[in-house]
A and B are shown apart, each in its own frame.
Chain A
Amino acid sequence: MLSTSFPAPLSTATFAGKTISSPPFHAKSRRVLISATASTTEPSCTSLYEILGVAAVASDQEIKAAYRRLARVSHPDVAAVDRKVSSADEFMKIHAAYSTLLDPEKRASYDRSLFRQQQPLTVTGFSGYGCRKWETDQCW
């Protein structure tokens, strides 16, 4: 899964189109792909609700249940061998969606942005350090 095509405009936090391949002893099992986009012109594929496969009115219980259900297939510890490479990124995305939607404040502000701008969304509120918006790998 070497990256060949990358979104051209990358945020300042990006290592443009950098594919991080693990050291040889891990090469078969793992390859990290880092790119980031804070760009509003680069459409990202899904809303946080879509990532978790829940409705926009989903309760905390539904969000938790969806998170667990997805974790059981996407977490690198349980993902099929041929999917280990992408599963870490996938799981991080799911976890970011889960932790944003489970935090009432973050969810409210996310909902506002969703509503107001109707713009493609990237994963926010992920790190607690402000506005770094990681978008990892291609959409799934």
Chain B
Amino acid sequence: MAEREPAYTVASDSETTGEEKSSPLPEIAIGIDIGTSQCSVAVWNGSEVELLKNKRNQKLMKSFVTFKDEAPSGGVTSQFSHEHEMLFGDTIFNMKRLIGRVDTDPVVHASKNLPFLVQTLDIGVRPFIAALVNNVWRSTTPEEVLAMFLVELRLMTETHLKRPIRNVVLTVPVSFSRFQLTRLERACAMAGLHVLRLMPEPTAVALLYGQQQQKASQETMGSGSEKIALIFNMGAGYCDVAVTATAGGVSQIKALAGSTIGGEDLLQNMMRHLLPDSENIFKRHGVEEIKSMALLRVATQDAIHQLSTQSSVQVDVDLGNSLKICKVVDRAEFEEVNKEVFEKCESLIIQCLHDAKVEVGDINDNLVTNLCKITEVYKGINPLEGAVCGAAMEGAVASGISDPFGNLDLLTIQATPLAIGIRADGNKFVPVIPRNTTMPARKDLLFTTIHDNQTEALILVYEGEGKKAEENHLLGYFKIMGIPAAPKGVPEISVCMDIDAANVLRVLTGVVMPGSRITVVPVMEVRMPMVDDGHGWCAEALNRTHGATMDLVTLKKA
């Protein structure tokens, strides 16, 4: 905690979508991998990707911001002498698990076991988050904490590169909704950074893999035949899987799958195993409870680490308040309490292979990053650095940099990780763009009215995989007006969705009457997401007020 960066300059919290970027010289965007627990920055230095280090010579920095001193400081500039210090309630971490989630989300509820305060009222708004400083709960938000952290990263990078940094390519979990992505963009904007591209983590790895394959095939004058790779990544907060087809520097994302499961879940399941009533015991979040919680967390972490090399471990910890744990835990128990997590990983891989229409035998390489146990693994990529290196490369490619040696003749053809559609046919989610559709994409679907003389239709746009509308993330809603009076089922309401290569989503609607070919009302074009704060209850309120009066059904044409 010796060095201190200058005071934080967090820009206003307003949306910064209205920016025009027009620099005469291409500025190379940096790549940032914000992990739930660790973070790294890399940049294309003109001939290769370089990982940047902080003043303590670390390439991987812990993702946290501590509020214990006058000015908050993050893991780029400060370091704890012991793991416990991060767990006194005055430090916020796991921001990536919390950003863009509402207080009804199970992931937010699981976060209540963290030493800082995560308070929920279970009504579908953002949770209350606070750090304990001098016996005061100081409120903050995941965006603010991330912004503080990103400012440190930016300053570190600017010092290193001796130029101002503006553009970034950020890696994101596959399972992030568009709403969560806007929260990340806002955090970046608050830190004075412009997001050039958000890349699902395994696709960043795919880009790096694509480059390595291309290099290899050039060197051996090989045919550059297509290689299928399975990329699996499990970090502290998220598990991501991708199947890619790579040849000639082009990585085509065949399928993506992801879920909010990770090391944090393994840890919490294990804590619950060691102290079954831990949630109730720590509920009060008093100073004493936080201390006990910290001791348990560190002891559990140590035990898990030891279990990766030995078959059993003795946990012996005094949590204070006459709470003592003295238990021998073996690997079988660890695997048993985390059975669901491992099963979920497996199902993600199976789903991804299925979506990609790939058999296990077709796979040329397994790329595994972070923790896992697959037998045959591709060795060409450092598991902890793959994503950030890929992001840096994408930063150079997307900034329009070309490399004389062809190292940047790369392309990743992305696919949509989640389906996007509208609510129709009662309360169903009807996808217009299914998941794993190649981007850019444009698709449309026809709907019609459910009442005679229905003149208005409500379009509720959702993203996700749930069958029922409310199981998905609401991205926005608007009303089509002026539908000509006609028997139900006659007006044709066309809903078109357009995603560009930068992943901007637009929804367009028009109304056509039989016999005509021209839309009878002006086309509505709506950029999504438009819901500002993950208000899941918007849909509920709309339903309460309007019922099914403006509902739609899919139009089935003979």
**A: which residues have CB within 8 A of B?**
9-16, 18, 20, 23-26, 28, 30, 32, 34, 36, 61, 64-65, 68-69, 71-72, 75-78, 81, 88, 91-92, 95, 99, 126-130, 132, 134, 136
Contacts and interface: CB of A to CB of B under 8 A. Distances in A.
Contacts of A25: 17-20
A15 B508 contact: yes
A111 to B, nearest CB: 21
Contact of A75 (B17, B18, B411, B527): B411
Given A15-B510, A16-B517, A81 B440 contact: no
Interface in B496-519: 496, 498, 500-502, 504, 506, 508, 510, 512, 514, 517-519
Interface in B506-551: 506, 508, 510, 512, 514, 517-519, 523, 525, 527
A93 B41 CA distance: 36
A16 B411 contact: no
Given A13-B446, A64-B226, A71-B411, A30 B517 contact: no
A16 B247 contact: no
Contacts of A127: 443-444
Nearest to A103: B357
A12 B512 contact: yes
Contacts of B252: 68
A132 B172 CA distance: 33
A10 B517 contact: yes
B200 interface: no
A69 B17 CA distance: 34
Nearest to A68: B250
Nearest to B527: A23
Given A75-B501, A77-B398, A88-B500, A12 B506 contact: no
A92 B444 contact: no
B250 A76 contact: no
A98 B100 CA distance: 37
Contacts of B443: 126-127, 129, 132
A77 B501 CA distance: 7
B449 to A, nearest CB: 15
A10 B444 CA distance: 15
The 9 closest A-B pairs by CB, nearest first: A76-B501, A16-B518, A15-B510, A88-B440, A68-B250, A15-B523, A127-B443, A25-B18, A10-B517
Interface of B: 17-20, 22, 225-226, 245, 247-250, 252, 397-398, 400, 409, 411-413, 434, 438, 440-446, 492, 494, 496, 498, 500-502, 504, 506, 508, 510, 512, 514, 517-519, 523, 525, 527, 557
B492 A12 contact: yes
Given A15-B494, A15-B510, A34-B508, A76 B500 contact: yes
Given A10-B518, A25-B19, A77-B412, 13 more contacts: A12-B514, A13-B446, A13-B494, A14-B518, A16-B519, A20-B508, A32-B442, A65-B247, A77-B398, A78-B411, A91-B440, A95-B438, A99-B438
Contacts of B412: 77
Task: Specify the main secondary structure of chain A where it touches its partner.
Answer: loop
Contact of A88 (B494, B501, B512, B517): B501
A34 to B, nearest CB: 7
A75 B413 contact: yes
Contacts of B512: 12-14
A77 B18 CA distance: 21
A130 to B, nearest CB: 8
Contacts of B523: 15, 18, 20
Contacts of A9: 517
A77 B527 contact: no
Contacts of B525: 20
Contacts of B445: 129, 132
Contact of B18 (A10, A15, A24, A34): A24
29 contacts: A10-B517, A12-B512, A13-B444, A13-B494, A14-B518, A14-B519, A15-B496, A16-B517, A18-B523, A24-B18, A25-B18, A25-B20, A32-B442, A32-B506, A34-B442, A36-B444, A64-B245, A68-B252, A72-B409, A75-B501, A76-B440, A76-B502, A77-B411, A77-B412, A92-B440, A95-B413, A127-B443, A129-B443, A132-B444
A92 B442 contact: yes
A137 to B, nearest CB: 11
Contacts of B502: 76
Contacts of A72: 248-250, 409, 411
